[in-house]
Amino acid sequence: MFDQLGLIGCGLIGGSFALALKQARLVKRVVGYSKSPSTTERARQLGVIDVAAPSALLAVSGADLVLVAVPVGACEATFRAIRHGIGERTLVMDVGSTKGSVIEAAERGLQQKLASFVPAHPIAGKEVSGVEHAEAGLFKGRQVVLTPIQATRRTHVDRAAQLWAGIGARVLQMDHEAHDAAFAGVSHLPHLLAFAFIDAIAARSDGKHMLGLAGTGFRDFTRIAASDPAVWRDILLSNREQVLLQSQAFRKALMQMEALIAADDSPGLEQAIAAASRVRAAWTLPADQPPSAE
Ligand code: NAP
C-alpha cells in the first residue's frame, strides 16, 4: 500500500492507473497535475485524483509513488521539474510507449534520483484520449513491460512489478532496445500506416463519398487512426530509427504484393495471402493466452 501517488498527466493512462490503484486499495491519496488546470480540475471532479496540485513539483512532494503519464516528448521537462521532490524511497515510473528516449530523458532530467526510476509501458490503451475515458479495469489481464536500467535500484523494480500485478496486469521485463524494436513493428508502424491510409483517402476529391461506403473491415483496419495527435507525434519521432526500419520492411512486402498483382500472378498472390492469413488466424492477444508454466 502506498500513501500518496503523485500523478503527472491526468489523461487516459494516468487516470486509469489512479482509478485502478484506488479500486485495489493500493493507494491512500492521489495528488494530480496536468498541463491545463481545467484537465486537473476535471480529474478531481471525476474522483480520479483527490487533490489538484498547481505544479508538477507540488504534485510529487510527499509522494512515495510517482507516475509520469505525459506524451513522451514532455517527459524530460517533467523529470527536471520533479527532481527535487523525489525522496530516497519514492518509486518513479513512466508509461511511455517508447523507452529509449524516455530513459535518456530520465538520465538528463532525474540525474542523481535515477535509481528510483523504473521505466514502464502498459500494453493497454484506447484510440480516445483524456481523463473522461479513464477506467479502473484498463490494465486487467494486459501486459506491462518494465525496462529497468543499470542505475535502477532492484527493490524499486520489485515494488513496481508487485504494483502492476496488484492491479491485474501481467508483468514482463525486457531490455529497452528490444522493446523499442518490437513495438516499432507491432504498434508504431500500424499506427503510422493507419494515419497515412486515412490521409490518402481524405485527400481524394471523392474521399467523403468513399468513406460513406466503407464497412466493418475498414472500421477494424483504421480504428487506431483516431488516436491522439500529440501522443503519436511524440512516439513516432522518439522511436524514428526503428519506425523507419520497419516502414522500409513493410514497403518491400507491399511492393512484392503489388508486383504479383501487376503480373496477374494468381497462384503467387494466393500464396502470399495464405501465408499472411495463417499467421493472423493463429494469433491471439498475448494477454488472452494462458500463463506459461515457468
Ligand atoms: P492523454 O489522454 O492525452 O493524456 C496525457 C495527459 O498529459 C493530459 O492530461 C495532458 O494534459 C498531460 N500533459 C501533456 N503535456 C504535459 C506536460 N508538459 N506537463 C504535464 N502534463 C502534461 O494521453 P495518454 O493516452 O494517457 O498518453 C499518455 C502516455 O501514455 C504517453 O506517453 C503514451 O505514449 C502512453 N501510452 C498511451 C497508450 C494509449 O493507447 N493511449 C498506451 C500505452 C502508453 P492536458 O490535458 O492539460 O494537455
Mean pLDDT of all residues in 140-161: 97
- The answer as to whether 290 is a domain residue is no
Distance 54 CA to ligand 1 centre (A): 18
Cβ 97 under 6 angstroms from ligand 1? yes
- The answer as to whether 79 is a domain residue is yes
The per-residue pLDDT for 4 is 98
Residue nearest to atom 8 of ligand 1 (CA): 11
- 231 with 250, same domain: the answer is yes
- 199 with 275, same domain: the answer is yes
- The answer as to whether 228 is a domain residue is yes
- 164 with 244, same domain: the answer is no
Cβ 100 under 6 angstroms from ligand 1? no
Closest Cα to residue 171, out of 179, 163, 180? 163
- 259 with 182, same domain: the answer is yes
- 159 with 183, same domain: the answer is no
Report the C-alpha gap between 244 and 242 in whole angstroms.
Answer: 5
Residue 294 has pLDDT above 50, yes or no: no
Q: Return the CATH number at 99.
A: 3.40.50.720
pLDDT tens, residue by residue, 88-106: 899 999 999 999 999 999 9
Contact present, 93 and 119 (Cβ < 8 Å): yes
Of 153, 174, 195, the residue that ends a domain is 174
Angstrom distances, CA of residue 286 to CA of 89, 123, 183, 188: 33, 10, 14, 17
Distance 192 CA to ligand 1 centre (A): 18
Cβ 69 under 6 angstroms from ligand 1? yes
- Tell which one of 94, 97, 143 to mutate to probe ligand 1, the residue whose CB is within 8 A of the most ligand atoms: 97
Q: Return the CATH number at 194.
A: 1.10.3660.10
Q: How far is CA 254 from the centre of its chain?
A: 27
Residue nearest to atom 12 of ligand 1 (CA): 9
pLDDT tens, residue by residue, 9-60: 999 999 999 999 999 999 999 999 999 999 999 999 999 999 999 999 999 9
- 164 with 23, same domain: the answer is yes
Report the C-alpha gap between 34 and 14 in whole angstroms.
Answer: 10
Total domains in the fold of the chain = 2
- 119 with 136, same domain: the answer is yes
Name the residue range of residue 92's domain: 2-174
- 27 with 161, same domain: the answer is yes
The per-residue pLDDT for 286 is 80
Distance 33 CA to ligand 1 centre (A): 12
